[in-house]
Structure 1
């Protein structure tokens, strides 16, 4: 198990480029299974979850060629369906959450797909009912092996159908969409997720020959086609990493330029951090965060306490609530953070309290943060990273703290952030991997 030794208190300065989007990568990589022709994908992040999915695809029979550090060509011409029955597949599938999205493409192209209960962050219940209910409406037969926690779907032929999703699940929408593009007839998906990553998947599938209308809305209409062909695709920068860097700059009083942000795709993220008092300038497609010794939280028109909560797109992504929470600890003012989607995601605040933050955990979904206005710096402690986003929030706290912190279990951070210690050290941070 690796750890970070972090010496806090340094101001950072310079330019940093966000990696390719992790959550987009997991969808796009699964989509290569829809065609036997080559698919070239650029701006792929070199992170643990993505690399594990690439390894799974390779073992499944996909030919993988690395053209550049962030660019791969995938050719799914010779898929080994027997591999789905192996213990190695079970181990790989359980290692990452995004592996569930191979089920839709496999079902559409080969008539069967299966997957062990996937792993990922321990942030609360993340049900898969939406995925399989949608696939059943397309004509698939669903099987669940309770003792082995194994999901399976089979169909001789998928047929288009109307469906109203019970939740706007991003991965569920992606899975159903990838199955529907090869189904016979018309599929209508209402209450579809419309995150930029799903929009990117739609654009890629359209370039492959799919017929999809409604991209960017919560109503997708898909006219099934007989086959798809190869394409090229470039992924968006990771919006969660961009938000993390904005928060990092504010907490450490640093001057940072975040390059090539694709600002129109960020939704409410810049505005949310501006309401926390963080100044920023948009310079073309770059975000410049000036050095700022203190920042004051906004209030509502009637003077009531600012409430930052997550919601389905175009609301604020839940992946940034941990970052917003840690930023609020050193603000001037009080903030209520309301994490609606996952009931275990706020439990990391006990580490921040140990560091000196003033936080009241109201219940598993809500925390009230009383900002210290940078009058009392956080103090370094030893702690462990519980999940990807909380891990980076703790790293940001450690970089702003007095003294030295040790963050254990940084493999969680590595799952979502590419060479984060090396990139931040290049800006002046003092992080040592031990």
Structure 2
């Protein structure tokens, strides 16, 4: 018997509801020795959904209609985060619809950011669109196993004036212009890459990201930004070039299915000698 511990006390309420939190199971108990059989429909990718939900904050007009967003605590947290900044958020089946035309604040609530590291993705849209933001640091520190100093260095290179105090990044950008950003070749951060992409879409001039992450999540975000009126080229390669525009608008976009979830089920079938049919996994 194997016990897999999971985080507890994570908010899992849907956007637009009063109930903000609900405890999930303290642990899963898995008893092995049984071959797995059946059919599984793969859900939308969490890692693709989170930056795209944040990117909807860049739209100064129109709604962003995002399909295939999984109903999990992390995406619900991000929807709460977007809603807390003044955007209107609603769920319709597997779609999330966001209207961010009237943002009400540049200050991200600390509880949500600290509950989920990916909430820091809202820093780039706020800074790019409002020219200021105040976002608590995940874990309260710039350094760590997945440091955000790459994000801060990039924002600074683009013109932001940044102070880190009391566990928060406080930034304003009297000038917001393109720059050439070099990420570490041995640690091409997906998080830094997508945050720079979002920030650069509304910067004056051209931004080039060298040693950019090449993951599918980067490509999916670039596709969404281009549908919004952005000019992003090279996603999926180590060099991404973004030409800044004056304004982005709402767009309709589909999140691809979760490759990690699919791989987990495929591995489980192989290890147990089972037979599983995976639905919703593209040939690529």
TM-score of the aligned structures, taking structure 1 as reference length:
0.57
Verify: 1:31 aligned to 2:51, yes or no: no
Match of 1:104 in 2: 124
For the residues of structure 1 that align with 2:98 and 2:175, how far apart are their CA atoms? 26
Where does residue 208 of structure 1 map in the other structure?
A: 228
1:157 aligns with 2:175: yes
CA distance in 2, matches of 1:11, 1:135: 50
- Choose from 133, 136, 140 the match for 1:116: 136
**In the alignment, which of 81, 88, 91 is matched to residue 66 of structure 1?**
91
Q: How many residues align?
A: 254
TM-score by length of 2: 0.85
Gaps of 5+ in 2: 1-7, 9-24
Whichever of the two has the greater Rg, that structure is 1
Superposed, which structure 2 residues align to 1:5-404 within 5 Å? 5-36=29-60, 37-68=62-93, 70-81=94-105, 83-84=107-108, 89-119=109-139, 125-145=145-165, 148-166=166-184, 167-264=187-284
Structure 1 segments of 4+ aligned residues over 4 angstroms from their partners: none
User: Does the 8 Å contact 2:106/2:133 carry over to 1?
Assistant: no
**Distance in 2 between residues matched to 1:217 and 1:109, nearest whole Å:** 26
Superposition RMSD on alpha carbons, in Å? 1.6
Equivalent residues of 2:78, 2:119 under 8 A apart: yes
Alpha-carbon contact 1:18-1:242 (below 8 Å) kept: yes
1:395-426 deviation digits (Å, cap 9, x = unpaired): xxxxxxxxxxxxxxxxxxxxxxxxxxxxxxxx
8 Å contact kept, 1:134–1:165? no
How far the C-alpha of 1:83 sits from its partner, in A, is: 4.8
Aligned mates of 1:96, 1:191 — CA distance in 2: 26
Q: Which residue of 1 aligns with 2:18?
A: none
Could you tell me how far apart the structure 1 residues matched to 2:106 and 2:119 are?
A: 17
Would the alpha carbon gap of residues 168 and 222 (structure 1) be closer, same or farther in structure 2, given more than 3 Å must change? same
In structure 2, the residue matched to 1:354 is none
Matched-pair contact (CA < 8 Å) for 2:106–2:126: no
Quick one: distance in 2 between partners of 1:26 and 1:14? 29
Does the 8 Å contact 1:162/1:188 carry over to 2?
yes
Shift of 1:82: 6.0
SS at match of 1:4: strand
